[in-house]
Amino acid sequence: MMPTKDQVRAEAGRLQGLFLEAGATAVDPDILQPADTLLDLYGEDIRARAYVTADPLQGEQMLRPDFTVPVVQMHMAAGQGAARYTYAGEVFRRQEVAEPGRANEYFQAGLEIFDAADPEEAEAEVFVRFASALAPLGLRAAMGDIGLLTAAISGLEASAPRKAALLRHAWRPQRFRALLDRYSGRVPVPPARAALLKRLAVEPAAEIMAATGPQIGLRAPEEIAARLARLAADAAEPPIPAAQVTLIDDLLAIRAAPVNALARLRDIAVDMPALDPALDRLERRLDVMRAHGVDLEALEFEASYGRTTMEYYDGFVFGFYAGGQPHLPPVASGGRYDALTRVLGQGREMPAVGGMIRPGLVLELATGGAA
């Protein structure tokens, strides 16, 4: 039987109680959030996933699609140091295509820890608190680390602009792959670009631009000239070695028990030492988790976990799933989002890790209602 809304609310309160016991402060962000912030973070794509409404005076608003963004905003605006917060309430998700098991509004109960002192300890703590809250359900846990891919990108033999472009699209696997193919010479430049580069070699950029007619729009001639210069520089750059692309492919394909995954990653790092700091953090995280009593052998480490769904998570990521029911969303998920504090921090940043549980799904699974 599906739990009633009162039961789900009570379960959200019970879970929040566990986080209060962990020393978190209860917060209650507004349901109506300024749309600008979310649009600037996630781009137009979020319009497909969040409800947009218009206030005559305050402009476009969104029904909160999650709690993390307003909690980060609140914390960064207050300018405090270490803190931990918990929330329990509904989030709202627009759906353009009906998906079974996905609700338009549902409860979340969450924990967010802002702490620079010991990041791996904070990560292990969040994971352990979630694991123990969910222990009776016998869920499958998966984890990953977005920081591995970003470290690998920084270790490529490539110019800063190429690395920046790859980092910017790390969340979009297809686009990322297209860029990597281009930069490694696997795919040639398109004919129009090749023709433009030929012209640039013999003709000043200013003349090429002047020949096209009037200059219109906000994008200034200097910006166009700057990109032309970048295109010429890019064309002159040697391709990223095929061996390095293979290392990225190998890294993203890793899916194994954490200890085995770490061993394979260490092998990759022999040829890509830029991975070492991220691997040291991963190793320490695993040690701390083990010390907290986590059975690492029962976990799966997926190097590409969360890559498409958890934008702005930039380190440790995790999720808990009901086994044998792939149509269900994760019962809980979370991770490290230092990048989000940087974007919303207006010049400041703060290491932060957290996650949320779906109390409705917890109840359904506990009563066998989510078959």
Partner 1 sequence: MTLKLGVPSKGRLMEKTFDWFGARGMDVRRSGSEREYAGSVGGIDGVDLVLLSAGEIPRELNAGRIHLGVTGSDLVRERIPSWTDRVEELARMGFGQADLIIAVPKCWVDVDRLEDLDAAAAAFRAAHGHRLRIATKYHRLVREFLQAAGVADYQLVDSQGATEGTVKNLTAEAVADITSTGETLRANHLKLLSDGLIHRSQATLFRSKSAPWTRQTRAALDAIQERLAAKM
Q: CB of 228: closest distance to partner 1 in angstroms?
A: 5
The residue type found at 232 is A
- Interface with partner 1 (CB under 8 A), residue from 56, 214, 326, 368: 214
Residue 95 vs 132, nearer CB to partner 1? 95
Q: Are strands 83-92 and 140-145 parallel, antiparallel or unpaired?
A: unpaired
Residue 138 vs 191, nearer CB to partner 1? 191
Binding flag, residue 223, partner 1 (CB under 8 A):
yes
Residue 13 vs 185, nearer CB to partner 1? 185
Q: CA triplet 371, 329, 73: central angle to 5 degrees?
A: 145
Binding flag, residue 310, partner 1 (CB under 8 A):
no
- Interface with partner 1 (CB under 8 A), residue from 213, 293, 347, 368: 213
Helix (H, G, I), strand (E, B) or coil at 214: coil
Q: Which stretch binds partner 1 (CB under 8 A): 43-51, 117-125, 148-156, 291-299?
A: 43-51
Binding flag, residue 203, partner 1 (CB under 8 A):
no
Residue 140 vs 163, nearer CB to partner 1? 163
CB-count exposure of residue 258 (10 Å: 0-12, 13-18, 19+):
buried
Which two structure tokens, joined as six digits, stand for 187? 């795919």
Residue 140 vs 169, nearer CB to partner 1? 169
- Interface with partner 1 (CB under 8 A), residue from 219, 263, 270, 348: 219
Residue 101 vs 190, nearer CB to partner 1? 190
- Scored b (16 or more CB within 10 A) or e, 116-142 reads eeebbbbbbbbbbbbbebbeeeebebb
Among residue numbers 235 through 294, which ones bind partner 1 (CB under 8 A)?
none
Q: CB of 325: closest distance to partner 1 in angstroms?
A: 24
Helix (H, G, I), strand (E, B) or coil at 332: strand
Number of residues that bind partner 1 (CB under 8 A): 38
Contacts of 313 (CB under 8 A, 6+ apart): 146, 306, 335, 336, 337, 339
Please provide the distance, in angstroms rounded to a whole number, between the alpha carbons at the two ends of the chain.
10
Beta bridge partners of 317: 144, 335
Q: CB of 338: closest distance to partner 1 in angstroms?
A: 20
Please state, in angstroms and rounded to a whole number, the distance separating the CA atoms of residues 131 and 126: 9
Q: CB of 343: closest distance to partner 1 in angstroms?
A: 12
Contacts of 254 (CB under 8 A, 6+ apart): 261, 264, 265, 301, 302, 303
Which two structure tokens, joined as six digits, stand for 156? 């490529």
Binding flag, residue 174, partner 1 (CB under 8 A):
yes
Q: Which residue has the tokens 């394979």?
A: 264
Mark 131-170 with x for binding to partner 1 (rule: CB under 8 A) and - for no binding. Answer: ----------------------------------x--xx-
Residue 81 vs 221, nearer CB to partner 1? 221
Q: Which stretch binds partner 1 (CB under 8 A): 106-114, 137-145, 227-235, 280-288?
A: 227-235
Cα 347 from chain centroid? 20
Q: Which stretch binds partner 1 (CB under 8 A): 105-113, 114-122, 215-223, 348-356?
A: 215-223
Please state, in angstroms and rounded to a whole number, the distance separating the CA atoms of residues 76 and 89: 21
- Interface with partner 1 (CB under 8 A), residue from 2, 77, 187, 226: 226
Please state, in angstroms and rounded to a whole number, the distance separating the CA atoms of residues 206 and 224: 10
Please state, in angstroms and rounded to a whole number, the distance separating the CA atoms of residues 253 and 10: 41
- Interface with partner 1 (CB under 8 A), residue from 25, 53, 132, 215: 215
- Interface with partner 1 (CB under 8 A), residue from 228, 247, 282, 331: 228
Q: Which residue has the tokens 């002159």?
A: 236
Rule CB under 8 A: which residues touch partner 1? Answer: 39-40, 43-45, 47-48, 96-98, 165, 168-169, 172, 174-175, 178, 190, 192-193, 196, 208-209, 212-219, 221, 223-224, 226-228, 231
